[in-house]
Copies of this chain bind each other. A is one copy, B any other.
Amino acid sequence: MTSAEAGGARALPPIGVVGTGLIGTSIALAAARLGHPVRGHDADPGTLARSAARARFEPVVSAGACSQGAAIVFVCTPVPAIAEAAAACLAADTNTLVTDVGSIKSQVLVEVEARAGRGRAGRFVGGHPMAGSERAGPEAASAAVFDGAAWILTPRDGNGEHVDRVATWIRGVGARPMVMDADRHDRLVAVVSHLPQVVSSALMALAAREHALDPDLLDLSAGGFRDLTRLAASSPPLWTDILRTNREAVVPALTRFVEALVEIRDALEHESPSGLERVLDEARAARLALGTKPQVRAGVAVLQVAIPDRPGVLAQLTGALATHDVNIEDLQIVHSFEGGRGTAHLTVAAELAEAAAGALASSGFDPVRLA
């Protein structure tokens, strides 16, 4: 590592980012916020330019150029391109740690070892931040996306120290590192991430086909339908790669989900209301236990407030809370209604719930504590 490449007099070592879409640009923003110099590369010059403009990093001509002198390189390319980029980074600087953000881990580890060789692959730590969006591209990036998110790291024999170094960095951007075996990761995300994507796309595709036969169909769709189909707006090429690569876990997860649906259909068809209600009960209990925000599962209160449709009303509402120094943990305009007016659900720390309700009431709102 030359001193120039290490950033000269800077306190923190450079970070490399290869693949500067939504997640790559978000990492660049988070690294810059921590004070790291950042170098980025993307195979697409337009994406690289937009990302560099947004996150103000140094664009470089290759993956290897990101790696030279960097403490960690984050490979944020689509899954099929990870191994090649990671091998280039591992070869370009024999001290750099390389990690990725791909949604599948087992196959990536195998491919990196095949490309880079067993020795160099020891400096590769598989990673997967559970932060994403149905949106894509540098424009949708934010340094805040990792805050509170689980960020999986998959170790291999003998690289525990490297895993620890990546975990420390990840904690620095506000995420929660979780170390687990790559196979286990792939089985779990098949259920909580890949299956929901398929379900959302399948529901939207079915509704689109039926809407072609009855053009009033989608006019009847309300908030529930919108919630379920939001993910269907995600990038098709990206998800085709993810689903194919994790086929071995996604296909059985889909089969189990189809079985769960058929169980409900059979209960309906054979007039078994108790069987039907049992599944709905089971699901409801689990959803309520899930809470609304992982890091504040306990200790929060939710206030419901009606929001009339006029300029400034949200300013009035949030201003009333700011004046009383109440932080809003979460604010959700309830989309089940999707009117110009709406209802907001405000999440605040439980011990501030009374103060919040009082502040809102004294500003003319009518808050109702839901939880």
Contacts and interface: CB of A to CB of B under 8 A. Distances in A.
A239 B211 CA distance: 24
A214 B188 contact: yes
A131 B261 CA distance: 25
A201 B228 CA distance: 11
Given A199-B203, A224-B231, A140 B243 contact: no
Interface string A283-308: 11111101011111000000010111
Interface in A60-103: none
B130 A220 contact: yes
Contact of A219 (B150, B218, B256, B260): B150
A216 interface: yes
A110 interface: no
- Please state the number of chain copies in the assembly: 2
B309 A147 contact: yes
Contacts of A184: 214
B307 A327 contact: no
A132 B336 contact: yes
A208 interface: yes
A126 to B, nearest CB: 14
A343 B144 contact: yes
A251 B135 CA distance: 33
Contacts of A309: 147, 327
B256 A206 contact: yes
Interface in A306-363: 306-312, 314-319, 321-322, 325-343
A133 interface: yes
B220 A150 contact: yes
A224 B232 CA distance: 10
A170 to B, nearest CB: 13
Contact of A207 (B192, B243, B255): B192
Contact of A311 (B229, B243, B255, B325): B325
A5 interface: no
A225 B194 CA distance: 9
A223 B243 CA distance: 18
Interface stretch (A117-125, A160-168, A274-282): A274-282
What are the nearest 5 A-B pairs in CB distance?
Answer: A147-B339, A312-B322, A208-B286, A148-B339, A236-B280
Interface of A: 54, 130-135, 139-140, 142-150, 152, 174, 178, 180, 184, 187-189, 191-193, 195-208, 210-211, 214, 216-237, 239-240, 243-244, 247, 250-251, 254-258, 260-265, 268-269, 271, 273, 276-277, 279-288, 290, 292-296, 304, 306-312, 314-319, 321-322, 325-343, 368, 370
